Structure 1
Amino acid sequence: MPQQATDVTHRLVSSPAGRIHLVEQGTGPLVLLVHGFPESWYSWRHQLPELAAAGYRAVAIDVRGYGRSSKPGDTDAYRMLNLVEDNAAVVHALGEQSAVIVGHDWGATIAANSALARPDIFRAVGLLSVPYIPRTGPRPSEVFAQMGGDEEFYVSYFQEPGRAEGEIEPDVRGWLAGFYAALSADTMPAPDAPGPHFVSRGGMLRDRFPVGRRPAWLSEDDLDVYAGEFERTGMGGALNRYRNMDRDWEDLADFDGAPITQPSLFIGGSLDASTTWLADAIKAYPVTLPGLVSTHILDGCGHWIQQERPAEINRLLTDWLTSLPA
């Protein structure tokens, strides 16, 4: 029988960044939940009580640079291996020796690299929306610079400190609402419309966001939570993750082409560019994720998968967790 879910607990724990804010619910084996851009622990609000009720100690963090966690001033403080060590520090601060780690969006990449670099701590890994791609090939900046032709790919647009902040911070709430809508199944632009992942030369990313459309999963109260945090902190810490991709490529050289061997799970949305553009990465899972338990592509789902389809995600996560070795 599933245990009764306990109340939510907020706390700060020490990490290489200074402190990491986490939200905890339940007792049992530890499941660490890592969010993506531009979100916070709150993106896991539907999963925390369900995982707790299923008998797990569910912990969602604010990644370094977000929410109530520390926000170092140096851009290179946000490199991937620092975030991996933050996750390891959280596990140890909670008095645990190991954890299952689950991530969405950037959180999926952070989770994958946590499992890759610290297999002594992370015994299984779940990836939502963004597939695992081993470190290989040319520098990421070179790849992204070649995308889009006369347009600029959003990752390249985010590289210059202050540029994206100048677009977002004067109207955080409006920008977030548009960004969430652009990647949600029920509000994203039509397939033949200009892509929201690209910026016209001299333009802004928000030029292609839907106007006056809020996705069904995002209530005004939800938007208040997200906007309130970024209005308080600014966007620099969140954007600095993108500004370290070349540093990550250098730091992870020892893991070039390396598979993740722990038991794994992938869930994507059929309408999410992260899933469709990276279809070859999913096809490569027999080599790159040899411990893969299952892959699921949710029909008609966009990018914000655990918020768009919480009941399905909760079922898939708990089924997978139950299948793992004790």
Structure 2
Amino acid sequence: MGIPRLSANRGEALMQSEPTAALRHRTVEAPAGRLHLVEQGTGPLVLLVHGFPESWYSWRRQLPALAAAGYRAVAIDVRGYGRSSKPAATDAYRMLDLVEDNVAVVRALGEESAVIVGHDWGSTIAAASALLHPEIVRAVGLLSVPYAPPGGPRPSDVFGRIGGPEQEFYVSYFQEPGRAETEIEPDVRSWLAGFYAALSADTMPAHDEPDPHFVAPGCRLRDHFPAGPLPAWLTEDDLDVYAGEFERTGLTGALNRYRNMDRDWEDLAPHHGAPITQPALFIGGALDASTTWMADAIDAYSTTLPALSASHLLDGCGHWVQQERPDEVNSLLTDWLASVHS
């Protein structure tokens, strides 16, 4: 297929070195153009959707565990990432399009329905898929980012007020095309290392240190990243896989997700306040800003996720839950999936 060798093939080699590995790489047609996916196992379909800045490889510890538990585990490269197509238009990364990509994958795999599990932005994409296509999504697993129904103030207005005049919130910093790319792309590997460390439980800054979610005037986001060793969950080889992919593709496709939040707000207005009624699971890190900033969303789950099976906050865990705590997450996922399919 003419796929460049380096990060993607290195990731495959790292996975295939495990005794239980039997990964199958393929591409399928989707509204994005082509979507790359990696699958393992047979049985009911579980679709795994990554967040920023990751790839299918962020599910490397879940694929074999789900396969061993009797599921067809499929991890995709979201449009704009990895080996998937990268549309040029900024508005090609709106939520409605990403949802239709998920639907296309389910159908391309010859399935009528799937459980979708997402992390970070993938959690939001999984939730929107369940909301918009209940006939396709039979259950939804949300990791790190809680479900908050569509509605409320315009996102750009909200994020513009966070931090005040002395510092800029990272979501606002990501809005201008090319701005964050200019910071990241000259040295992708070290930027990723710092970003992963900033949100990991064992390497994140202390409470009295600068918050890595904010940019001071005239500075860069990375200026608040911690300096030091990689987090325990991330090996040098793992970092090479991630860095190699973004060095090849650039960051624009990934960052364009942030640049569509106001469009999503408009597109999803008809679903203002809508609950997700399918069986659901939430797993977050107790030290993750996503779970503390959105504590009210978690508290509202009895209304917004009425079929929620369980909500778990993992003590001593940061943002990258399925990579920081793979065994615990795998156990929670497989127990929940067994209840969904019983």
Which range, TM-score by smaller chain? Answer: over 0.9
Superposition RMSD in Å: 1.0
Please point out which of 21, 25, 33 is paired with 1:18: 33
What residue is the counterpart of 1:134 in the other structure?
149
2:254 corresponds to 1:238: yes
Residue in 2 aligned with 1:278? 294
Shift >6 Å, 4+ stretches: none
Q: How is 1:246-257 mapped onto 2 (pairs within 5 angstroms)? A: 246-257=262-273
Matched letter for residue 45 of structure 1: R
- Give the 3-state SS of the residue equivalent to 1:100 in structure 2: strand
Letter of the 2:272 counterpart: D
Match of 1:307 in 2: 323
CA positional deviation for 1:5: 5.9
Deviation at 1:6, TM superposition (A): 6.5
Aligned match of 1:194 in 210, 219, 222?
Answer: 210
* Separation in structure 2 between the aligned mates of residue 241 and residue 202 of structure 1, nearest angstrom: 24
Following superposition, the deviation at residue 213 of structure 1 comes to 2.2
- Among residues 87, 95, 101, which one is paired with 2:116 in the alignment? 101
Between Structure 1 and Structure 2, how many residues are aligned? Answer: 323
1:60 counterpart residue number: 75
Does structure 2 conserve the Cα–Cα contact (< 8 Å) formed by 1:5 and 1:26? no
Taking the aligned partners of 1:140 and 1:301, their CA distance within structure 2 comes to 27
Deviation string for 1:16-57 (max 9, x for gaps)? Answer: 010100000000000000000000000000000000000000
Report SS of the residue matched to 1:301. Answer: coil
Write the mapping of 1:108-147 to structure 2, written as runs, cut at 5 A.
108-147=123-162
Aligned to 2:16: none
Cα offsets for 1:91-140 (capped at 9, x unmatched): 00000000000000000000000000010100000000000001111110
Task: Name the CA distance, whole Å, in 2 between partners of 1:5 and 1:181.
Answer: 29
In the alignment, structure 1 residue 214 sits paired with structure 2 residue 230: yes
CA distance in 1, matches of 2:98, 2:307: 23
In 1, the alpha carbon distance for the partners of 2:218 and 2:174 equals 14
The answer on 1:185 being equivalent to 2:201 is: yes
Unmatched 5+ stretches in structure 2? 1-18
Identify which of 262, 266, 269 aligns with 2:282.
Answer: 266
Paired with 1:160 and 1:101, the residues of 2 have a C-alpha distance of 31
Identify the residue that residue 90 of structure 1 maps to in structure 2.
105
**Quick check: 1:205 aligned with 2:221?**
yes
Q: Distance in 1 between matches of 2:159 and 2:228?
A: 30
- 2:86 alignment partner, one of 71, 83, 89: 71
Normalising by structure 2, we get a TM-score of 0.93
**Partners of 1:121 and 1:254 in 2: CA distance:** 20
Aligned to 2:13: none
Instruction: Please list every run of 5 or more consecutive structure 1 residues that lacks an aligned counterpart in the other structure.
Output: none
Quick one: distance in 1 between partners of 2:189 and 2:341? 43
Distance 1:179 1:116 in 2: 31
Q: What amino acid is aligned across from residue 41 of structure 2 in structure 1?
A: G
Is 1:9 equivalent to 2:28 in the alignment? no
Preserved contact between residue 101 and residue 111 of structure 1 (Cα < 8 Å) = yes
3-state secondary structure, aligned to 1:249: helix
Deviations 1:259-296 (A, max 9, x none): 00000000000100001111110000000000100010
1:324 maps to which residue? 340
| Percentage of identical aligned residues | 78
Q: TM-score, normalised on structure 1?
A: 0.98
Residue 5 of structure 1 contacts residue 52 of structure 1 at CA under 8 Å; is this kept in 2?
no
